[in-house]
Amino acid sequence: MIENRRNGVACLQFPNLKDFSELRHAVFTRRDGCSRTPYRSLNTSFSVGDAPDRVDRNRESIRRRLEATELVFARQVHGTDVAVVPGPPDDRPPKVDALVAAEQGRYLTIQVADCQAVMVYDPVRRVVANIHSGWRGSIGNIIGRTLQEMTAAFGTAAGDLVAGIGPSLGPCCAEFVHYRKEIPRSFWPYKSADHHFNFWAISHDQLCEAGVPTEHIFASKLCTRCHTDRFFSYRGEGTTGRFAAVIGLR
């Protein structure tokens, strides 16, 4: 991934999404924020025990870094529901794990600490999606469900899509000792001999199965647990923050 800094905040970008002039996207690290240990420092989640005023300041730093009008969040629940933004009027974020938008200025924000943020862009119809895919979302194929929603709502053709799979728990650290109870047998081919699963490969294959060309997919292959100096990791740290992945149309 490509790292750059602006307005005092560093972020990573996918090389296959970076050059669309009408698009802004960023995967932020845990750095350049104001939260204190164990949330040090760019935590964007209110639900992990951090001081709300610090979370507000961190979110504002991200908004300024992107020059965004609005950051749109979801109440992530490790499910497979998808919301098209804007939805029905509500003071609270939608209780979903994927967001889709075709409206300028709506910057879709997913928060993670080992789960994947999967960004998808349709440059033909100018539709963006941001997907929170943990292991439960993976076995429920939230990626496929999101692409179906993009097609139903905006006429997206999967062959036009460009996708990025963000930093997340890698096959080096995604150990599932109780996989026989937790993970369906159809996913066992992605398991190594020592009960580790390659969810990067699962997401790549789910995108391809939905019709996205493999050459349009970029996986960061950065393991969050191996790099707790750069990213929050629930598996590695327990009590910790959440880093943000954001995509939107200028």
Residue that the structure tokens 């789960």 belong to: 115
pLDDT digits 0-9 by tens, 4-28: 998 889 999 999 999 999 999 999 9
Which residues in 60-93 are b (16+ Cβ under 10 Å) and which e? ebbbebbebeebbbbebeebbbbbbbeeeeeeeb
pLDDT exceeds cutoff 80 at 90: no
| Cβ count near 11 (within 10 Å) | 25
Q: Per the omega criterion (within 30 degrees of 0), is the bond before 167 cis?
A: no
Query: Is the CB of residue 72 less than 8 Å from the CB of residue 84?
Result: no
pLDDT digits 0-9 by tens, 157-203: 999 999 999 999 999 999 999 999 999 999 999 999 999 999 999 99
Length of the chain: 250
Q: Which domains does the chain have, with CATH numbers?
A: 2-249 (3.60.140.10)
Distance CA 34, CA 16 (A): 31
